[in-house]
Structure 1
Amino acid sequence: MTEIERAIRKLQRKHTVSRVAYRYLSGRPLDGRQGYPYRHRGPGRLAGWQRQAVRLGVPAAAVMAAAYPGQAGGVLGTAVAVTGWRVRRRFTMRRFNREYVTPTLAALAPAMGLQTGVHLHVDPSLGTLTPRLAKPLSPAEVAMRTWYGEKVEPVIRWLPERAQRAAWSIQRKAEPVTSKLAVFRRPVDGDQGPRIELTADTPYLTKEQRQLVSSIIGSKIPVADLVESWHQVGPRVRATWTVRKRPPARVGVDQVAEHLPRLAEWEFFIGMGAGDRPVTLSLRDDSPHLAVSAGTGAGKSVLAELIAVQVLARGGRVVILDRKGSHRWALGLAGVDYCTKPAQMHDALVRLAVLADERNSLALHAPEDWDPGARVLVICEELNATIGQLVNFWAEARGKGDPKRSPAVSALADLLFMGRSAKVNVLAIAQMLTARAIGGPEARENFGIRCLARYTANNWKMLVPEAAMPRTSRTLGRWQIVIGGQATETQVAYLTAAEARELACPRSSGTSEVSGLSSPSGDFLTLRQAAEAGVIPWKLDAAKKRLQRGVGEVPAPRGKDGNADLYARQDLARWAETGERISQ
């Protein structure tokens, strides 16, 4: 017997009646070929279960139509509608694959060194991929779609909608029972949104290959702002690109008031991240100091205000070094020392360094849980310009035998190195926080929390080179909070001046360990002290004239400091607000 005869006999045995019947009923190919899985579709063909459903369903429908002629019309109409929907969907997907998937695969295979074994799935609902393929409708098509939406679709959807509502009602009724079964459910990936999935039949791709694949995906499939992840464990390489989740568009005082009571004394709520997750900072665990770098109008002062309000609400102190007056909300608040002139800033930093050194000396002989006192937050606005002003001030004020370097700049550097145990924290604000602006590269390394918004590539690489730079956002109040090389996109909470003053509500009595920083720490000031501290926006002579003329709600004297009258901070702040409105 020849080899050809053996092959013919083997083929004849292969196609017996029983085997063909088994293949027909089980959904396998009738010719006996292998490689077509039951659960998943083969290349260009139906899956096994789909073939099985067609082979068994069509004869069953024919028998039912013959047995019940009256129902044949409904069955036939349903079959035609389902078939039409599937055909339309198939043609749509064929066009979608022809425009996106097939060209991308043709570019990917050579890039990965593979001619076969590369599989790509692109979700049609991703971005605007499908709308890009849409063709303009003719007037007849518009009229037909309008008629269908008004006349036909409500009838077709009536029964499914009622069934869905009934299912929801049953779920609500059974929720007390089904909720107890949650302990037996396995956790699933919460991010099941539209995505791009790539599978390659190779165990490893180099970094250069992965970068080339990412570049091809980004060029051939026009969807912006995707999050890329690679999995190279196992015999195949898998990559996914998912839509980046975004924080809410706005966060306000309600969220701040909700989260503030839950936080420890060293924790601060700053906003909401992706998935409405609260973002908090820890001045004990993450870092004792914060660096804020952003362009003009990005909300640097809003972020500083948010943290300062929480410090005041817990009975702490806030020292503001601000030449341009960005924190008018803090004018007149007990617990706030507002420095607007270089001399005041100089004295404030020197005294704070002394305070921090005293606290550190006491902590040396105290138990580990010893509390040095109220927290002090130092807000340094526009540090690039502030350091220059302090240097120029010291160049003019320096006497014979004084050090050449500004004691204020040295004090700021000392605070950065010893602020954790002393509970003296620095919040440095600058458009570009260079090493020169902060007093040296070693001083800048003490900022473990770095906040950036409206950043450039140069600014990002200078401050956080260890973190991948995400795309900058135009949304006002949208920040990147970088801790330990991990960037978290955050929508920072916005507070109005009235909301900030109401939330501050310091529990302290007004007595400060840093008294004399910029003004007396009590609640009563002379007119000169109020002008120097920035409690009133006018110079001393202008304030005296307004006081004599009775412009605004003129404060009444509350006491005497020598020959000068003493006024309450709140009265002075109210006078400043009403006087400004009258001037405008």
Structure 2
Amino acid sequence: MTELERAIRRLRRKHTVPRLVYRYVSGRPITGRDGYPYLSRGAGRLAGWQRQVIRLSVPATAALAVAQPEQVGSLVGSAALVAGWRARRRFTMRRFNREYVTPTLAALAPAMGLQTGVRLHVDPTLGNLTPRLAKPLSPAEVAVRAWYGERVEPVIRWLPDQAQRAAWAIQRKAEPVTSRLAVFRRPTDPDKGPRIELVADTPYLTKEQRHLVSSIIGSKIPVSDLVESWHQVGPRVTATWTVRKRPPARVGVDQVAEHLPRLAEWEFYIGQGAGDQPVILSLRDDSPHIAVSAGTGAGKSVLAELVAVQVLARGGRVVILDRKGSHRWALGLAGVDYCTRPAQMHDALVRLAALADERNTLALHEPEDWDCGPRVLVIAEELNATIGQLVNFWAEVRGKGDPKRSPAVSALADLLFMGRSAKVNVLAIAQMLTARAIGGPEARENFGIRCLARYTANNWKMLVPEAAMPRASRTLGRWQVVIGGQATEVQVAYLSAADARRLACPRSSGTSQVSGLSSPAGDFLTLRQAIDAGVIPWKLDAAKKRLQRKVGEVPTPRGKSGNADLYARADLARWAGSETGERISQ
């Protein structure tokens, strides 16, 4: 037997009747060659299951037409509707691919050094890609569509709408039963949604190639603010671009009141992140100090107010260094030292450094879990101007033999270096937090939590060069919180003055039993400080007797400084004036 005869016999054996029937029924190519996969389809080819459905449905339809001719019309009509819908969808996708996918692939293949083996999928529901393809309507077309929407579409949509409502009602009724079946369902990818997917038949792409691919995708497919991810494990490279999830547009006092009872003493809720997830800062785990840098009107004082309220609600103390009066909500609150003058700021910083040093000294002889006392939060507003004022103040009052550097600036640096164990935390606010504004580059490195809003490229590179810079948002209250080089977009909770005061003093009495340092020239004074400042005209023993006997408009204690009660300056002045008025009338 010749070689040719053997080849013919093998060919005849290959195309036997049972094999042809098997190929026809299973959806494989009739010729016997390797076809495309059963589930996925190739370029211009049907998938195996699609060929199988067509091959089996055509004979079945023909047999049904012979057996029951009266049902052929309904089947033909249904098939025509399906074919029309598929043709319209195919036409739309053909136009979509011609506009977006084909030109992008033509630009991508040379950029990656591949002439073949590049596949790109662009979801038509992504952004406004499909509406961009729509052509403007003429006035006649607008009128016809309006007439159709008012007269025809309500009639056509009535039955489907009723069926959908009935289905929803059945789902609500069956929910007690169907909810128990959730344990058998496999979890789905929460990030699954409209996306752009690129698959390249190459095991690796360099950083320059990936950057070039991203640039081409961004320029050829007009969808902004996408999140890019690359997967290069395996024989192929896969890239995905998904829509960035955004925080909610507004967060208010309800969310703050909801999360506040759940937090530890060192944790602080500041707002909601992407996917409406709460964002919580830890002054024990993340960083003992917070840097806030933003332009004018971005909400720096709102963020500081939110943290301060939580400190006060837990019995802590807040020292505010604010020359311009951005925190009027805190005036008169127990546990707040409001310093508005350079002299007050100077004295407060020096005393706070002494307090931190004392706490750290005591901690040496105490157990590991020893609590050194209430937390003290120092809010340093507008550091770009405050540091200069402190330096100028010290230059005016410095005496012979005093150090050249301002003790207040040195005290602020000491707090940044040793404040964590002493539970003295600094929240520094500046439009641009330069090293000069905080007292040196070493001091600035102590801010492990850095919050930025309405930032410029220079400001971002100066404060967080290790994190990729996202586009700045115009939404009021939208911040980027950077911890360990990871930026998190947050919608910071907004509190009105009334909400802040109510959360800061949850007790009806309005008093807060805290220990701390109160400025003699501040808004809260002890009796001795009030006598030294001339607020009340009596001696200390006489003032105590008047308090015991409740003579006049006796002031209510607002807090503690050591063992002495603190009183508001306005209350003391009113008390002194009321008793003087009573004596004159008598």
Q: TM-score range by the shorter chain?
A: 0.7 to 0.9
Measured after TM superposition, the shift of residue 276 of structure 1 is: 0.8
1:114 is matched with 114
- In structure 2, C-alpha distance between the alignment counterparts of 1:295 and 1:342, rounded to whole Å: 24
Can you give the 5+ residue segments of structure 1 that lack an aligned partner in the other structure? Answer: 532-555, 573-584
- In structure 1, C-alpha distance between the alignment counterparts of 2:310 and 2:227, rounded to whole Å: 34
Kindly indicate whether the alpha-carbon contact (under 8 Å) linking 1:245 and 1:275 is maintained by their aligned counterparts in 2: yes
SS for the counterpart of 2:319 is: strand
Distance 1:6-1:571 versus aligned 2 partners, 3 A rule: farther
2:522 is matched with 519
Measured after TM superposition, the shift of residue 65 of structure 1 is: 4.2
Letter in structure 1 aligned against 2:193? G
2:504 is matched with 504
2:544 is matched with none
Q: How does 1:178-577 map to 2 (within 5 A)?
A: 178-505=178-505, 509=512, 512-516=515-519, 518-519=521-522, 521-522=524-525, 558=554, 567-568=570-571
- In structure 1, C-alpha distance between the alignment counterparts of 2:219 and 2:16, rounded to whole Å: 52
Letter in structure 2 aligned against 1:25? V
Kindly indicate whether the alpha-carbon contact (under 8 Å) linking 2:201 and 2:235 is maintained by their aligned counterparts in 1: yes
Distance 1:51-1:505 versus aligned 2 partners, 3 A rule: same
Cα deviation 1:557-584 (Å, max 9, x = unaligned): 6479xxxx96328989xxxxxxxxxxxx
Measured after TM superposition, the shift of residue 421 of structure 1 is: 1.2
1:535 is matched with none
Distance 1:47-1:347 versus aligned 2 partners, 3 A rule: same
Distance 1:72-1:569 versus aligned 2 partners, 3 A rule: farther
How many residues are matched?
545
- In structure 2, C-alpha distance between the alignment counterparts of 1:29 and 1:441, rounded to whole Å: 72
Distance 1:374-1:142 versus aligned 2 partners, 3 A rule: same
Cα deviation 1:358-403 (Å, max 9, x = unaligned): 1111111111221111111110011011001100110111000000
Kindly indicate whether the alpha-carbon contact (under 8 Å) linking 2:315 and 2:513 is maintained by their aligned counterparts in 1: no
- In structure 2, C-alpha distance between the alignment counterparts of 1:146 and 1:64, rounded to whole Å: 43
Kindly indicate whether the alpha-carbon contact (under 8 Å) linking 2:381 and 2:430 is maintained by their aligned counterparts in 1: yes
Single out whichever of 16-25 and 353-362 deviates more from structure 2. Answer: 16-25
SS for the counterpart of 2:88 is: helix
- In structure 2, C-alpha distance between the alignment counterparts of 1:389 and 1:56, rounded to whole Å: 88
Q: How does 1:69-148 map to 2 (within 5 A)?
A: 69-146=69-146, 148=148
Letter in structure 2 aligned against 1:515? S
Distance 1:141-1:15 versus aligned 2 partners, 3 A rule: farther
- In structure 2, C-alpha distance between the alignment counterparts of 1:523 and 1:92, rounded to whole Å: 79
- In structure 1, C-alpha distance between the alignment counterparts of 2:477 and 2:231, rounded to whole Å: 34
SS for the counterpart of 1:490 is: strand
- In structure 2, C-alpha distance between the alignment counterparts of 1:100 and 1:527, rounded to whole Å: 80
Cα deviation 1:301-324 (Å, max 9, x = unaligned): 110111111111111111111111
- In structure 2, C-alpha distance between the alignment counterparts of 1:528 and 1:83, rounded to whole Å: 95
Measured after TM superposition, the shift of residue 521 of structure 1 is: 3.6
Letter in structure 2 aligned against 1:389? Q
Kindly indicate whether the alpha-carbon contact (under 8 Å) linking 2:360 and 2:422 is maintained by their aligned counterparts in 1: yes
Kindly indicate whether the alpha-carbon contact (under 8 Å) linking 1:247 and 1:272 is maintained by their aligned counterparts in 2: yes
Measured after TM superposition, the shift of residue 486 of structure 1 is: 0.8
- In structure 2, C-alpha distance between the alignment counterparts of 1:54 and 1:142, rounded to whole Å: 40
- In structure 1, C-alpha distance between the alignment counterparts of 2:153 and 2:14, rounded to whole Å: 50
Distance 1:206-1:559 versus aligned 2 partners, 3 A rule: closer
- In structure 1, C-alpha distance between the alignment counterparts of 2:555 and 2:154, rounded to whole Å: 79
Measured after TM superposition, the shift of residue 31 of structure 1 is: 3.0
- In structure 2, C-alpha distance between the alignment counterparts of 1:236 and 1:566, rounded to whole Å: 73
Letter in structure 2 aligned against 1:366? E
1:549 is matched with none
Measured after TM superposition, the shift of residue 147 of structure 1 is: 5.3
Cα deviation 1:263-290 (Å, max 9, x = unaligned): 1111111100111101111111111100
Cα deviation 1:154-197 (Å, max 9, x = unaligned): 55555554554454444444444443444444333101110001
Distance 1:5-1:416 versus aligned 2 partners, 3 A rule: same
SS for the counterpart of 1:238 is: strand
- Identity in percent: 81
Single out whichever of 158-167 and 41-50 deviates more from structure 2. Answer: 158-167
- In structure 2, C-alpha distance between the alignment counterparts of 1:157 and 1:395, rounded to whole Å: 81
- In structure 1, C-alpha distance between the alignment counterparts of 2:222 and 2:499, rounded to whole Å: 43
2:539 is matched with none
Distance 1:64-1:516 versus aligned 2 partners, 3 A rule: same
Measured after TM superposition, the shift of residue 471 of structure 1 is: 1.1
- In structure 2, C-alpha distance between the alignment counterparts of 1:387 and 1:566, rounded to whole Å: 27
Single out whichever of 213-222 and 13-22 deviates more from structure 2. Answer: 13-22
1:580 is matched with none
Letter in structure 2 aligned against 1:310? Q
Letter in structure 2 aligned against 1:198? L
Measured after TM superposition, the shift of residue 520 of structure 1 is: 5.8
Distance 1:141-1:310 versus aligned 2 partners, 3 A rule: same
Letter in structure 2 aligned against 1:400? K
- In structure 2, C-alpha distance between the alignment counterparts of 1:395 and 1:127, rounded to whole Å: 60
Letter in structure 2 aligned against 1:121? H
Kindly indicate whether the alpha-carbon contact (under 8 Å) linking 2:524 and 2:569 is maintained by their aligned counterparts in 1: no
Letter in structure 2 aligned against 1:125? T
Letter in structure 1 aligned against 2:234? G
- In structure 2, C-alpha distance between the alignment counterparts of 1:484 and 1:415, rounded to whole Å: 21
Cα deviation 1:309-356 (Å, max 9, x = unaligned): 111111111111111111111111111111111111101100100111
Measured after TM superposition, the shift of residue 515 of structure 1 is: 2.3
Single out whichever of 141-150 and 30-39 deviates more from structure 2. Answer: 141-150
Distance 1:78-1:517 versus aligned 2 partners, 3 A rule: farther
Distance 1:559-1:376 versus aligned 2 partners, 3 A rule: closer
SS for the counterpart of 1:362 is: helix
Distance 1:302-1:71 versus aligned 2 partners, 3 A rule: same
- In structure 1, C-alpha distance between the alignment counterparts of 2:574 and 2:300, rounded to whole Å: 29
Kindly indicate whether the alpha-carbon contact (under 8 Å) linking 2:519 and 2:525 is maintained by their aligned counterparts in 1: no
Kindly indicate whether the alpha-carbon contact (under 8 Å) linking 1:345 and 1:518 is maintained by their aligned counterparts in 2: no
Letter in structure 1 aligned against 2:326? S
- In structure 2, C-alpha distance between the alignment counterparts of 1:58 and 1:247, rounded to whole Å: 53
Kindly indicate whether the alpha-carbon contact (under 8 Å) linking 1:333 and 1:570 is maintained by their aligned counterparts in 2: no
Letter in structure 1 aligned against 2:101? V
- In structure 1, C-alpha distance between the alignment counterparts of 2:533 and 2:129, rounded to whole Å: 64
